[in-house]
Structure 1
Amino acid sequence: MPFRNVSRILCFVAIALFAGLLSGCYSFTASTLPSHIKTVKIHEVEDKTLDPVLANNIREGVVEMFRKNAGGVRLVTGEANADFEMTLLSYTNKPENYNSNSDVETYRVTIRVSVKFFDNVKEKVIYESKSLSAEGTYDVQANETEDRHGQARAIEKLQDLIITNALAKW
């Protein structure tokens, strides 16, 4: 790949990240997708962790991301112009910080997924990552829970990562 193309991609990613930091969230619109993509099928998350609730929550988060940010694209359950597939590769929930009594104060949830967004019309990959991970912490001292706080924060970060990384490809 020529140096100019790498520089352009890095510049675009840096601008996208900077804009995201300024706004507090990332977004994309149907216009940033190839114009021929009018429908997307978001497949069930393949789960290698045996946690179907988490896999379903991840899928719901991606569906929400598309609905909020790509209103011109219809989500369908049958044949589509593009397929969005994810695999839940791993999940961990480990203590992060302890207080002076050696009690756990915060835990860190880590979710690792693979993502593939495939253009069925042009028969090419729009975006793919074999290992994308995000973390979310939760504070048990503040009555936060693993599923409502730690997982939710990690899923939100996954959504941001997917958008940020995919923007460089679209």
Structure 2
Amino acid sequence: MRFRKNISYFLCLFALALMVVGLSGCYSFTASTLPSHIKTVQIHEVEDKTLDPVLANNIHSAIVEMFRKNAGGVRLVNDDANADFAITLLSYTNKPENYNSNSDVETYRVTIRVSVKFYDNVKERIIYESNSLSADGTYDIQKNETEDRHGQARAIEKLQDLIIANALAKW
């Protein structure tokens, strides 16, 4: 009988541990996790050092979407904001990653490197800053995936996750 109690206790602990580990990778932020005085944010256009205006535009749209989705209580404005969010597209690469037996490229790896600055205008301090944040995304041409639709989109999604995770650790 005591053996069964120990097993039940162990199984409950194991299930609880699995839930904790499973949820530890989930990131999001809300207006309540931002400093309480941040009610408005201005998201500046992406400064583009790669001369790829389409990619810079896609990154800007993704950052706007990230704020709208995760910080709904914060209004996005064009000026006089409580906080400014600036991002610079530093570099972009698209290189072959895997080859098949005929030496044909099967997958490519897209890498995007940015700098990010989230500045609190009210308290005049940096909320979050990174001078070199990098994310990548692969795409498989054998599956008719494309650089812009699949590779870049995956890299931008990872950038969003990195920004959220890193910014949360700062405030």
Instruction: Using structure 2 for the length normalisation, give the TM-score.
Output: 0.86
2:43 maps to amino acid? I
SS of aligned partner of 1:102? coil
Q: Does 1:61 align with 2:62?
A: yes
Q: Does 1:77 align with 2:78?
A: yes
How far, CA to CA, are the matches of 1:63 and 1:19 in structure 2?
30
SS of aligned partner of 1:30? coil
How far, CA to CA, are the matches of 1:20 and 1:76 in structure 2?
37
Unaligned ranges ≥5, structure 2: 1-18
Q: Does 1:86 align with 2:87?
A: yes
Q: Closer, same or farther in 2 for the Cα pair 1:149/1:49, shift >3 Å?
A: same
1:92 maps to amino acid? T
Count of residues paired in the alignment: 153
Structure with more relative contact order (C-alpha pairs < 8 Å, separation 6 or more): 1
Q: Closer, same or farther in 2 for the Cα pair 1:19/1:85, shift >3 Å?
A: farther
Structure label with greater radius of gyration: 2
How far, CA to CA, are the matches of 1:129 and 1:94 in structure 2?
24
Question: What are the residue-to-residue correspondences of 1:9-158 with 2, within 5 Å?
Answer: 22=23, 25-158=26-159
Give the C-alpha shift of residue 26 in structure 1: 2.2
SS of aligned partner of 2:170? coil
Q: CA RMSD in A?
A: 1.6
Structure 1 stretches of 4+ with a deviation exceeding 6 A read: none
How far, CA to CA, are the matches of 1:92 and 1:63 in structure 2?
23
Preserved contact between residue 25 and residue 160 of structure 1 (Cα < 8 Å): no
Q: Which residue of 2 aligns with 1:164?
A: 165
Give the C-alpha shift of residue 55 in structure 1: 0.4
Unaligned ranges ≥5, structure 1: 1-17
Q: Which residue of 2 aligns with 1:10?
A: none
1:120 maps to amino acid? N
How far, CA to CA, are the matches of 2:143 and 2:23 in structure 1?
28
SS of aligned partner of 1:152? helix
1:67 maps to amino acid? R
Instruction: Using structure 1 for the length normalisation, give the TM-score.
Output: 0.87
Q: Which residue of 2 aligns with 1:11?
A: none
Give the C-alpha shift of residue 79 in structure 1: 1.2
How far, CA to CA, are the matches of 1:44 and 1:73 in structure 2?
18
Give the C-alpha shift of residue 25 in structure 1: 4.7
